[in-house]
Amino acid sequence: MIRLIRDADAVIIGWAPIYPLTRGIIEATQKLKIIARFGVGLDRIDVKAATERGIVVTNLLGTFGHTVAEHTLFLIFAVARRVTQANKFVRTNQWKKFSDLGPSIELQGKILGIIGLGEIGTEVARLARAIGMRVLYFDSTRKAERERSLHIQYLSITDEDIKNGSKVPEKLLKKSDFISLHIPLTEQTKLIIGRKEIASMKDGVFFVNTSRGGLVDEEALYEALTSGKIAGAGLDVLTKEPPDADNPLLRLDSVVFTPHCAAFTSLSFRKAWIACAKAIASVFQGKVPKPPINIVNPSVALWREH
């Protein structure tokens, strides 16, 4: 990484960065002026180190929202209708065995609990409402206008939740038939879903994560899936990517996996590459980039508006 970017003026960090831009790598650069994130998540960029060196960091808002939301709904449908098992039984000439699992469930009328009502969470709520789901949500800040327009309900974290060490409202966990994560991975949100939170969930809940694997205690998730506490999970992300071959989650038919590809569509990629190029051009032209480009560390004043 150092060899590749030591003399770079700008860097684009790809849609699923394998190698993080650590302080050591950033401090080894000679001319770097901007790190453009091809996506939203910043957990693999040392933003503080970049800021200290006067390097602008940008990410993209409004580029992947609908794409990831569609993928989230796909995973919700897939776990509800047991797509993994159904596909396996057809391919192995066990057509009738699927009926032994019992009937699957409809989504209409079911409650979806969304944790994080940012760009993606909002789109998930809109799509879920369109198919007749009821939506509860929790976010660090209440989004009253979105509540009204989407006809969804906000649940706040209570003093009792905080006292119990939970960062998610217990009421949301208890009421939801499906739970979907749409928050960034930070020190505050790491392992936000663990044994305590899973124990508070409704029996037979379905769980979906298209955000970051580090938000979830995978050992606790495995235990809940094998016990039936969680009926099924749709996971686009894992703590380690790609996962080790001995990751026990891989042995479960009740889990639908995708390889961190929720944003991987031709349209979203085209929009993202163009936005990253515009971010780089704007910084070198001394202009403030325009949305959907977002400056993460605006205190770095390397531009002036014309």
| Residue numbers annotated as active site | 212, 241, 260
Give 249-252 contacts, CB < 8 A, sequence gap 24+: 249/218, 249/221, 249/222, 249/225, 252/222, 252/225, 252/226
> Taking Cα atoms as reference points, which of 299, 303, 302, 304 lies closest to residue 51?
299
Give the chain's end-to-end CA distance (angstroms, integer). 35
Separation of CA 101 from chain center: 30
> Taking Cα atoms as reference points, which of 102, 96, 112, 95 lies closest to residue 81?
102
Pairing of strands 111-115, 230-235: unpaired
Cβ 148 vs Cβ 142: under 8 Å: no
Calpha distance 129→230 (Å, rounded): 23
Pairing of strands 255-257, 178-181: unpaired
Structure tokens at 56: 């602008």
